[in-house]
Structure 1
Amino acid sequence: MSTLQAEALTEGKKEKAARFPIIDTDVHERMVSIEDLLPYIKEPFLSYMKHWTGWGELKYTHPIGGSRLDSLLPSGNVPGSDYGVLKEQLLDKYDIDYAILTGLFYPATMEAQFELAAELASAYNEWYVRNWLEKDDRFLGSIHVAPQMPETAVREIEKWGDHPKMVQVLLPIGTAPLGDPYYHKIYEAAQRKNLVIGMHQGNSVTTGFGQPRYYVEWHTILSQAFMGMAVNLILNGVFDKYPGTRVAMIEGGFTWVPSLMWRMDHNYKSLRSEVPWVKRLPSEYIKEHFRFSTQPIEDPNPQHMLRMVEMMESDELLMFSTDYPHWDFDSPTRSLPTTFSAELKRKIFYDNAKNFYRLPDSPKAAR
């Protein structure tokens, strides 16, 4: 047996040895092209699409490609656009109980033509309910909206909020301060429909000094956007006004959470007279209303990672995600450090997401 064969056999045994049910909170289904949406777009917007040039997922040419190499299909399909491949490479290979689909088409971050953004979000929902959600019992969905026009976003939430497989409203993080009262109708509607707010990195995320020169810069400091949004939501009183609001921070990492809680609490004690509607320490809102997906998980000393979870003062804040099919995909068999107890792993892989999204128990988890 060759060395490569031995390594493959070992890896296969590891994958089969996974002991925990798994909820993957970040799976990117894709379209092959914008033409997939045309049957769902109405005039006058359909005519706009004749001149569509689109916008990139990022403002960079990715140095190693944005997706894992084995998801690049010989047929030339876009990675993540083929259900059969996704099923084989993710759902079946790792025996996933639920996969929450988050897409990779975000009209929510368009900085102009807001009416078109709303129409594209609506068309995407129609397309992917029919072409993805109905294909597998393990799929759960995200309602795509254009927060640029809160009234249309609310209509989309009303339309899809009672769908049995929809679990969240997706608000990709761009340049808009989504805690601003202008957007509060969206949180009211999500609370009314018992939906999580899923905040994912968007197509136009920038940093404190604008757009970095290199992709590696952008990817390294992406968590700035998530930190800023958490502060914005809390201090604009979203959770005091809508106490049922739950926010999943997706693909922004999590090791920054303890230091943000400390800094916000410190400033709140001195400056809370400016925001009298905020009734509790900011860290309390984070522990009650926020959850954080694990990907992209940093890779420090395993003891340090355990300590990081301890500093959050809760073992319920993390939810597992793979970020399939991206280049920095996190495998369920290799992502969590060995210092995590079986109980903690179970919570991260399954229990925390099940409880936060209020999902029924899966048949596998009941065993």
Structure 2
Amino acid sequence: MSPTSGPRPLPSQEITTKTHTAEILANARRDTERYGLDEIFIVDVDSHHAELNSWRDIIGYVEDPVLRDTARQMMVHRPQAGQLALSNYKAGLAFQDAGARIPHQSALAEPVPVDGNNRDIELVRRAMDVMSIDVQVVFPQPMLEIGLHPEPGIAVQLMKAYNQWFVEQILPGDPRIKTMLGLPFEDPAACVETIRAYGDHPDVIGFLVTSQRHAGVHRNEYTRIYAELEERGLPLGFHAGPSWQDSMTTTMNRFLSVHAMSFVTCNMTHLTNWIVNGLPERFPGLRTIWIESGLAWIPFMMQRLDHEYLMRQSEAPLLRKLPSDYMRDMYFTSQPMEITDLKLLEATFHAMDARNTLLYSSDWPHWDFDVPGRVMSIPFLDDTAKRNILGGNARTVFGL
């Protein structure tokens, strides 16, 4: 069945910050009926919630009493910064809303009944129910740029506070909600402490490096982190994000350009350092996941790194096979799936062995989200490959 056949989409409507999730995702429900998604195990490996809406509560978990009080004073005396205290979120550059045409992700202000649960839990449930998702991995939004914070000590405190808040306030709300907790990567000892504190939690199914940061992930001080994860059998994710501050993105005059490039180049950099410095050989049991960078870059990196390696093997003495072979041992999330050219997409799927390495992700509620029907509509995939991508591969990598 072609992607354009079948029931017609619902007529367009105005979407505001108060529009109900079920209305925004009405066409996703149409896909559920069309493809029988209720009968398929679906894991959404990348979705988000609006943690700044709960920022006052999160600040209450900051360990350092002076820093915690400083943040609270900011909230009292600088009310315009009440939901931003201590963070490095740049509210003045909220271009993800596409000129206010796609505003739902900026506030998620739809009415939620007061029933004792955190409102984030109800909003996550609504998205899962409409998209027929069985397990949803939930990440923060602005916190994904914490690696660019000008004060590393504050970044560590904020990440630790957020993790404790999320584990205590969000995860108990629904057994379908899972997460990969962000590591306070500025402090390797704090990373190991975080893994030991939460690594046995049944709903913490891995840990995360926020990829927008200027740190060489291959450096020796981080190896104890990777050893701890490998020993526990927990995967490590690298979640991309935007930056308009790197030496190259500062030349760009449109957010379109920044979004197209910065979400990809940060993970390209970390993946290159990871492979060339032999981390897959040093930690062969550590599963790695590259999140929210799309797919089009993968065959490019395979060919580029293979080409360079074959001419300069002495600079990567730990490698025992081609860089592209190590990449096929990794996992990649699907969003945003560049689907403008099906022949190129099919070649990409072939190069990366997508039927065994690709993990479905929605990136909900961001403006460029992909519903599960996106995978089901790909004409060159057989039923087994679709089921693998939608949930089977995630079952394997996370041990669900």
TM-score (norm 1): 0.87
* Partner SS state of residue 280, structure 1: coil
Instruction: Go from structure 1 to structure 2 and tell me whether the alpha carbon gap of 1:310 and 1:59 turns closer, same or farther (over 3 Å shift).
Output: farther
1:44 to 66, 79, 94: 66
Q: 1:205 to 1:169 in 2, by over 3 A?
A: farther
Determine the structure 2 residue equivalent to 1:197: 236
Residue of structure 2 aligned with 1:216, choices 256, 275, 293: 256
| 1:24-103 equivalence runs, <5 A | 24-31=44-51, 32-42=53-63, 43-49=65-71, 50-51=73-74, 52=85, 54-56=87-89, 60-62=93-95, 63-65=98-100, 69=104, 72-74=108-110, 82-88=120-126, 90-103=127-140
> In 2 relative to 1, CA 268–11 (structure 1 residues): closer, same or farther, beyond 3 Å?
closer
- Supply the distance in 1 between the matched residues of 2:358 and 2:282 (Cα, whole angstroms): 25
Aligned with 2:31 (options 3, 14, 30)? 14
Task: Give the letter aligned to residue 256 of structure 2.
Answer: V
Structure 2: gaps of 5 or more residues:
1-7, 13-22, 75-84
- The residue type equivalent to 2:225 in the other structure is I
Which stretch of structure 1 is more off in the superposition, 161-170 or 336-345?
336-345
User: Offset of 1:61 from its aligned partner?
Assistant: 3.0
Match for residue 216 of structure 2? 177
Q: Could you tell me the percent identity over the aligned residues?
A: 25
Q: Does 1:297 align with 2:337?
A: yes
Give the aligned length. 353
Change (3 A) 1:66 1:38: farther
Structure 2 match to 1:362: none
Contact 1:309–1:315 under 8 Å retained in 2: yes
Q: Is the 8 A contact 1:15 1:94 kept in 2?
A: yes
State which drifts further: 129-138 or 310-319. Answer: 310-319
Alignment partner of 2:355: what SS?
coil
Q: Are the structure 2 counterparts of residues 178 and 48 from structure 1 closer, same or farther at C-alpha, using a change threshold of 3 Å?
A: farther
The answer to whether the 8 Å contact 1:108/1:148 transfers is no
For residues 203 and 161 of structure 1, do their structure 2 counterparts lie closer, same or farther at Cα, with a shift above 3 Å needed?
A: farther
Q: 1:214 to 1:81 in 2, by over 3 A?
A: farther
1:124 aligned partner: 162
Counting only pairs closer than 5 Å after superposition, residues 188-267 of structure 1 correspond to structure 2 as 188-202=227-241, 204=243, 209-211=248-250, 212-221=252-261, 222-267=263-308
Query: 1:106-185 to 2 correspondence within 5 Å?
Result: 106=144, 108-174=146-212, 175-185=214-224
How far does residue 316 in structure 1 lie from its aligned partner after superposition? Answer: 1.2
Residues 305 and 207 of structure 1: is their aligned pair in 2 closer, same or farther, counting only changes over 3 Å?
A: farther
What's the counterpart of residue 317 of structure 2? 276
Shift of 1:81: 5.6
Code of the residue aligned with 2:235 in structure 1: it is V
Higher percent of residues as helix: 2
More deviation, 148-157/311-320: 311-320
CA apart distance, 1:11: 6.4
Deviation at 1:102, TM superposition (A): 1.8
Deviates more, 1:50-59 or 1:93-102: 50-59
For the residues of structure 1 that align with 2:149 and 2:324, how far apart are their CA atoms?
32
Alignment partners' CA distance in 2, 1:61 and 1:100: 24
Separation of aligned partners in 2, 1:59 and 1:303: 39
**What is the TM-score when the length of structure 2 is the normalising length?**
0.80
Would you say the 8 A contact 2:145–2:241 is kept in 1? no
Task: Give the 3 Å change call, closer, same or farther, for CA 57–292 of structure 1 in structure 2.
Answer: farther
Distance 1:146 1:5 in 2: 44
**Could you list the per-position Cα deviations for residues 21-47 of structure 1 after superposition, in whole angstroms to 9, with x for gaps in the alignment?**
210000112321421113312213213
- SS of equivalent residue, structure 2 residue 289: strand
> Over the residues paired in the alignment, what is the CA RMSD in angstroms?
2.8
Q: Which amino acid aligns with 1:152?
A: A
C-alpha distance in structure 2 between counterparts of 1:307 and 1:168, whole Å: 30
From 364, 378, 393, the equivalent of 1:324 is 364
SS of alignment partner, residue 294 of structure 2: coil
CA drift of 1:113 comes to: 2.4
Distance 1:99 1:5, change over 3 A: closer
Q: CA deviation at 1:323?
A: 0.4
Q: How far off is 1:123 after superposition?
A: 1.0
**Which 5+ residue runs of structure 1 have no aligned equivalent?**
360-367
Per-residue CA deviations over 1:189-227 (Å, capped at 9, x if unaligned) read: 221222111111146476662433321001111312221
Take 1:249 and 1:350, find their aligned partners in 2: how far apart are those partners?
16
What's the offset of the Cα at 1:58? 7.7
Q: Residue 256 of structure 2: SS of its match in structure 1?
A: helix
